Structure 1
Amino acid sequence: MKKLVIAVVLLLVSTSVFAKKIEISYWHSLGFHVKELVEDMVKEYNDANPDVEVEAVFQGLYEEMQVKMMTAAVTRQLPDVAQVQYEYIDIYVLNGILEPIDKLLDPALKEDVPEVMWKQVTRDGLIYGIPYCVSATMYFYNQNAFVRAGLDPDQPPSTWEELIEAGKKLTVDNDGDGKFDTYALMFWADGFYGLSPFLWANGGEFFSEDGTRILLTSEEMLRTIGMLRDLVFKYHIMPQNWTAWEGG
């Protein structure tokens, strides 16, 4: 079976001993204006390396990518390089469709990326990907909105209780029709990435220490889900429906 070398940087391939142009298929999930940047980078690389031809193909959102990857594995049509969420690496490793890239890594790159990020793409001592597009959850707020609501823009909420109180002032019915037009906040809280900061803040974990149980009904998990639910249905400072793009 063809195995995928999972990474999200263009591998530097030595072509001195090859007469035939090397073709590299690269699947990614970077859409909108970022897709254009990826295409520009690929073109620049191809122009600078005439013996190599990289073809970048947008495959939709990460979830769509995962389905296409598994389908491609069955039909033996996997790409050479792909950008995927690290949550899916275990599935790919268990199905034997990834190729460890330890021997391909530049030592300088290995040193430059924090060790905690390498751990996310390492299984049984082998590295299966290069950390890329790693996000950190941050809290942004609109200072002008704070001023309009009579809040101090230099003193944003620092506790859950303060967030709720500020949220009540920031949620506004602008036209007086009995429906809120502006909500205090939205965020991406679906999946591991969105939920984890709130769960960890409550002292919870997704898995038991030995990794054998998923802690979906732990006291910390239930408290976290309850807090998020109350923002919508009890305090009404967050809308009931929004897209992941709007929340992120």
Structure 2
Amino acid sequence: MSGRIRALGVATAVAVAGLLAGGCGWGGAEPERGRVQPVTFWHSMAGDLGKTMRVIIEKFNALHPRTPVEAVYQGGYDLLAQKIRTSVVAGQPPVMAQMYEAWTAYLNRDRGQEAILDLRPMLAEPGFDREDVYPVLMEDVTFDGQVLAMPFNKSFPVLYYNRDLFLAAGLDPDRPPATWAEFAEYGRKLTRDTNGDGRNDIWGWSFAVDPWLYLCMVLQNGGTFLSEDGRSANFDRPPAVEALEYWIDASSGPRPFALRSTEFEPQNEYVAGKVAMVLTSSVSKAFMKPMIRFDMGMAPIPQGARRASIVAGTNVGIFRKASPEQQRAAWEFIQFFSATENTTFWAIKTNYIPVRRSATKSKVWTEWLKLDPTAGVAISQMESATFEPRFPEWVDCRKVLSQAMTQALQERGNARERLAAANKEINAKLARRHAAR
């Protein structure tokens, strides 16, 4: 599925405004009697993402004045993780918080001292349609049978491309590359020296070292990250090596078409028209679109021997330390936020994916797709979705992979050697993990 952004007019505003004005789906219960008991929610949603989140929170609070959600921004994800750990050690965690899966596993690693509440009893109650939530998202928050969180801000990597540059290179902008072989072919055609000075002025692709996309490619090559028992890594195997060699060839091979950058530079270069394609999160659309002055297209990431795309983003967990009333209110909020109407609104405004199947069948969503067909690109990858390992040590394993990728790209080779060394280091971490269990 590919698409292009069309002009968004009054109808869009009416559709989204109507979504909020409609009461977000249901009237709500009578306010609880007694004292006000705030429900603290630690998060990392800044800027417009935070503003959109607060719209939904304010709607919830109007229906639950005795247990209002108090959203507290804690900085970026690294800082949020640090503050959560510190608060748990001090015995003063928030009522609920955004958290990655590896954090959740860490917080519940010690039997008898689990910090995160098992949500299964609440999920068993009438009123919450668990089957409507995409199965892979529910599987992602299930640890040894316990449901320890619910999906919150989830996204997929997608392909953004400059339709104008496609036309200039003689490529059909309605047929973006569907495979990595096509991606390389397109990239080379798009890479051009426009002023004849011997240097490329336009590149086909710009990238920063990104384990997320690399891991997608490993799976697409038929590989796996770990052995079946989880005791050893597989990054020294051909599927992993070939994935990294693709990046090296793209940026420093005989016919390079990729510009290696850092952090958010690929997005900036794409917005500036210096590169024709970038592969990054669906959420990047919200940041890039206001600055773009060309015809932007979107498509799913290219695929390999098999289809695979990794869903990313955080979930929301409730802390056991909270009072029963606070836990109940936190669960009410999680239900509210993930309700069809609200997850649809969240997806439209932020470009995260809706977490419910019913959202993509709703009238508001179908009307939105008529105005912006690219809105359906990310969610179209759900059929081939999976997720990364979730054990606590995976955070460090990811860093090891990132370092190996960076070194191999800087050296313009040695993918096999660098990944073999990384694999050995990851295996040592896995050995320590299993020895401690």
Alpha-carbon distance, 1:51 to partner: 0.9
Distance in 2 (CA, whole Å) between partners of 1:40 and 1:71 is: 29
Matched with 1:211 is 230
Secondary structure of 2:70 counterpart: strand
Alpha-carbon distance, 1:58 to partner: 1.9
After superposition, residues 127-146 of structure 1 pair within 5 angstroms as 127-146=147-166
Match among 56, 61, 84 for residue 46 of structure 1? 61
Secondary structure of 2:176 counterpart: coil
State whether residues 31 and 65 of structure 2, in contact with CA within 8 Å, keep that contact through their aligned partners in structure 1.
no
Matched with 2:122 is 104
Name the structure where strand makes up a greater proportion of residues.
Answer: 2
Matched with 1:3 is none
Letter in structure 2 aligned against 1:200: L
Change (3 A) 1:174 1:94: farther
Match among 29, 45, 60 for residue 75 of structure 2? 60
Letter in structure 2 aligned against 1:203: G
Secondary structure of 1:82 counterpart: strand
Match among 111, 115, 118 for residue 138 of structure 2? 118
Letter in structure 2 aligned against 1:170: L
Alpha-carbon distance, 1:198 to partner: 0.7
Residues 138-147 or 178-187, more deviating:
178-187
Q: Tell me the alpha carbon deviations over residues 110-133 of structure 1, each in whole angstroms, 9 at most, x when there is no partner.
A: 121122221111111110011222
State whether residues 166 and 172 of structure 2, in contact with CA within 8 Å, keep that contact through their aligned partners in structure 1.
yes
Alpha-carbon distance, 1:200 to partner: 0.8
Alpha-carbon distance, 1:13 to partner: 9.3
Change (3 A) 1:188 1:122: farther
Matched with 1:172 is 192
State whether residues 102 and 126 of structure 1, in contact with CA within 8 Å, keep that contact through their aligned partners in structure 2.
yes
Match among 37, 47, 70 for residue 32 of structure 1? 47
Alpha-carbon distance, 1:239 to partner: 1.9
Letter in structure 1 aligned against 2:214: L
Q: Tell me the alpha carbon deviations over residues 186-238 of structure 1, each in whole angstroms, 9 at most, x when there is no partner.
A: 457623x3322211111111111122212221221111111122222224322
Distance in 2 (CA, whole Å) between partners of 1:204 and 1:169 is: 30
State whether residues 192 and 203 of structure 2, in contact with CA within 8 Å, keep that contact through their aligned partners in structure 1.
yes
Match among 247, 254, 257 for residue 237 of structure 1? 257
Alpha-carbon distance, 1:36 to partner: 1.0
Distance in 2 (CA, whole Å) between partners of 1:82 and 1:126 is: 18
Matched with 2:350 is none
Alpha-carbon distance, 1:49 to partner: 1.9
Residues 227-236 or 172-181, more deviating:
172-181
State whether residues 25 and 55 of structure 1, in contact with CA within 8 Å, keep that contact through their aligned partners in structure 2.
yes
User: Structure 1, unaligned stretches of length 5 or more?
Assistant: 1-11
Match among 16, 20, 25 for residue 35 of structure 2? 20
Distance in 2 (CA, whole Å) between partners of 1:57 and 1:178 is: 52
Distance in 1 (CA, whole Å) between partners of 2:159 and 2:37 is: 44
Matched with 2:426 is none
Q: Tell me the alpha carbon deviations over residues 44-86 of structure 1, each in whole angstroms, 9 at most, x when there is no partner.
A: 2223322122111222333332222222222223211111222
Letter in structure 2 aligned against 1:20: R
Change (3 A) 1:238 1:63: farther
TM-score w.r.t. structure 2 length?
A: 0.49
Identity among equivalent positions (%) equals: 28
Matched with 2:213 is 194
Distance in 1 (CA, whole Å) between partners of 2:170 and 2:47 is: 37
Q: Which has the higher contact order (CA 8 A, sep 6+)?
A: 2
State whether residues 143 and 153 of structure 1, in contact with CA within 8 Å, keep that contact through their aligned partners in structure 2.
yes
RMSD across aligned positions (CA): 2.6
State whether residues 137 and 197 of structure 1, in contact with CA within 8 Å, keep that contact through their aligned partners in structure 2.
no
Letter in structure 2 aligned against 1:77: Q
Distance in 2 (CA, whole Å) between partners of 1:61 and 1:97 is: 22
Distance in 2 (CA, whole Å) between partners of 1:20 and 1:38 is: 25
Change (3 A) 1:54 1:175: farther
Letter in structure 1 aligned against 2:141: V
Name the structure where helix makes up a greater proportion of residues.
Answer: 2
Letter in structure 2 aligned against 1:61: G
Distance in 2 (CA, whole Å) between partners of 1:66 and 1:177 is: 48
Distance in 2 (CA, whole Å) between partners of 1:59 and 1:229 is: 37
Distance in 1 (CA, whole Å) between partners of 2:233 and 2:214 is: 14
Secondary structure of 2:153 counterpart: coil
Change (3 A) 1:155 1:45: closer
TM-score w.r.t. structure 1 length?
A: 0.82
Change (3 A) 1:230 1:113: same
